Structure 1
Amino acid sequence: MLRERWEASPTLNHKLFQVDFLTTLAGDAMITMCYHRPLDAEWQAAAEQLAAELNVSLIGRSKGQKLIIGQDYVTEKLDVAGRTFSYRQPEGAFTQPNGTVNGKMLNWAFDALGERQDDLLELYCGNGNFTLPLATRVRKVLATEISKTSVNAALSNLDDNGVDNVTLVRLSAEELTEALNEVRPFRRLHGVDLKSYDFGSVFVDPPRAGMDPDTCELTRRFERILYISCNPETLAANIAQLHDTHRVERCALFDQFPYTHHMESGVLLVRR
């Protein structure tokens, strides 16, 4: 139905090359339309009419241009261990693709981490998807993420959910590894006392490339490694690197992409 709408409109269809959709279990929907041409007032009027008819937010993008009709994010609500968490998911940033399965992943990770009296290090935290529920299981959290859009969303999500025991720093996993190894200082860590943390666990949710060798070595320091992976090959390689110090205590599979060969994994490793 949507495709028929824009194809019937010369204004909306002209030089349109990509359409992205982001929806939530909570009922929000956002459409991003990408063009090989500047967007003008005529496009804006046609897009506003389409957004009103479909009751969605609509984003128009072309080189150096972003027009927003409605808002440039959706809000998801997920229940973890009896508490509802609200997530702002901005346009253009990474989000888990399957809301229902994401809820199951969050509950699995929450249970696997357990109630702790020490601190948690989180790498690749994104918009705070896992950060919010896991923060309720520990004394405090140091979380890192490299994407500025995701960092801003995570900060909003922490504030919206009243989670106040998380320090969020915009660093890559490789940079944080250097900081913890005291290789060099980072201005973005100003005011963060790394030595004040009593880390007992590390949570990682890396991209498909997995953890780089230095970051993987860093995780050896922790009694417990909670690992969410979207690539079983790099997960296996990282587990093999950690095999002499950690063993797999529990694992789970999550089918984020039904009818495809892709599979999400969760693994808890504990020190031998």
Structure 2
Amino acid sequence: MPLSAVKPEQYTSLLEGKAARINELMSDFCPPPAQIYPSSPTAYRMRAEFRIWHDGDALDYVMFRREDPRTPVAIHDFPIGCETIQALMLPLRAYLQANPELRRKLFQVEFLATLAGDALVTLIYHRPLQDAWETQAEALRQALQAISPKLSLIGRSRKQKRILGNDWVREILTVEGREYQYQQYEQAFTQPNARVNTHMIEWACARAAKLEGDLLELYCGNGNFTIPLAAHFDQVLATELAKISVRSARENLSTNEVDNVQIIRLSAEEVTQAMNGERQFRRLAELPRSLGDYDLRTVFVDPPRAGLDEQTVKMVQGFESIIYISCNPYTLAGNLRVLCTTHTIERFAMFDQFPYTDHMECGVLLTRHMN
């Protein structure tokens, strides 16, 4: 998204236009009127990454337009970044520019911040990082802690990762009146718009509140939805393939003292095979009971942009209730063409995670047709 598209004074009308397009896309499925959750027009992104462009001893944060990927566009103002990221950007750039050791062959800078006040800056290089780099980087970290006291810093190069502080940040989200803590690891997936993410979790929990039995969750990530949803089900089986996300989810379950969730490292395709009895997986032997002994009536899915594959769509049709969070309305619509042959959309929501873009996060609750 070009920053020239960021027009806070037009945010409401832009959101209305986006919502109208999504309503048109979904009209074939006759959903109820959508609940629409807006974003703050500015200061909403909790993570950002920039290439570094060198011009002699000077450097700039830059981005590239999709239609012109070779011409760098210098970024001097980043109004969509959260307050912490905005506060760090210019002092960091000035410090790097004045320090030959830190700026030499610096390729990219990444920011990760939280509503809880944690921040993490990652500096990525095209050279090995020696002890001299770490000495200067620690001085940089201490200088930036005057702005962000809980800041950590990481240096990366090929096959190297030097950590000054932590390689994670701590987020705290208040959901249904309760605070939940999340450990978010550097370079692992996290929702970029924390306040809209909170609305998404609360919407999913409200849909789950009247459901019974056990829950199967696919693509659980670091437990973003899993942990609050667990309060509404007897048992939860949550699946995720990425190792770092599985590790984070298990740590977050422990931190939040949630004891009715089992995390299984399986892909959605593997879960489908297990549910259909096509394959047995040794990882399922870690469960306190066999898969067939769970009362799985509800499935929660938050798939990548490609949506659910054909076999997984057929598998989730076997559930009484489906809570589907989608980051791509077009692949959601493709999945709904199958799901709505057996289920009805009971609730529909839109979450504006990415203002000033065509992207819209959507949520649907589907219940199986009565015979």
With structure 1 as the length reference, what TM-score do the two structures score?
A: 0.98
Q: Show CA shifts across 1:63-83 (max 9, x none).
A: 111100000100110111111
* 2-structure distance, mates of 1:57, 1:49: 12
1:209 pairs, out of 287, 306, 310, with: 306
2:283 pairs, out of 188, 203, 225, with: 188
Corresponding position of 1:234: 331
Corresponding position of 1:37: 127
Q: Output the amino acid matched with 2:276.
A: N
Measure how far apart 1:8 and its partner are: 2.2
SS in structure 2 at match of 1:190: helix
Q: Output the amino acid matched with 1:80.
A: V
1:152 to 1:191, Cα distance in 2 relative to 1, 3 A? closer
* 1-structure distance, mates of 2:225, 2:365: 15
Corresponding position of 2:166: 71
- Aligned pairs, number: 272
2:117 pairs, out of 15, 27, 34, with: 27
Q: Retained in 2: the 8 A contact 1:142–1:167? A: yes
Q: Output the amino acid matched with 2:99.
A: S
* 2-structure distance, mates of 1:236, 1:210: 9
| Ranges in structure 2 where 5+ consecutive residues have no aligned partner | 1-89, 146-150
| Ranges in structure 1 where 5+ consecutive residues have no aligned partner | none
Q: Output the amino acid matched with 1:227.
A: Y
Q: Show CA shifts across 1:199-255 (max 9, x none).
A: 111000001111111111110001111011111111110111112101111111111
1:17 pairs, out of 107, 110, 113, with: 107
Correspondence 1:100 to 2:190: no
Corresponding position of 2:268: 173
* 1-structure distance, mates of 2:197, 2:220: 14
Give the 5 Å matches for 1:126-165: 126-165=221-260
Q: Output the amino acid matched with 2:361.
A: E
Corresponding position of 2:342: 245
Q: Output the amino acid matched with 2:129.
A: L
Corresponding position of 1:82: 177
Highest RCO, 1 vs 2 (Cα 8 Å, sep ≥ 6): 2
Question: For the pair shown, which has the larger CA radius of gyration, 1 or 2?
Answer: 2
* 1-structure distance, mates of 2:117, 2:255: 19
* 2-structure distance, mates of 1:4, 1:233: 43
Corresponding position of 1:200: 297
SS in structure 1 at match of 2:115: coil
Q: Show CA shifts across 1:21-71 (max 9, x none).
A: 110001000011111111111110111111111121011111111100000
Q: Output the amino acid matched with 2:368.
A: R
Q: Output the amino acid matched with 2:144.
A: L
Corresponding position of 2:12: none
Q: Output the amino acid matched with 2:206.
A: D
Q: Retained in 2: the 8 A contact 1:59–1:72? A: yes
Q: Retained in 2: the 8 A contact 1:76–1:86? A: yes
With structure 2 as the length reference, what TM-score do the two structures score?
A: 0.72
Percent same amino acid among aligned pairs? 57
Q: Show CA shifts across 1:181-206 (max 9, x none).
A: 11111111113310111111100000
SS in structure 2 at match of 1:146: coil
Correspondence 1:254 to 2:344: no
Correspondence 1:123 to 2:213: no
2:142 pairs, out of 35, 48, 52, with: 52
SS in structure 1 at match of 2:363: strand
SS in structure 2 at match of 1:88: strand
* 2-structure distance, mates of 1:229, 1:117: 23
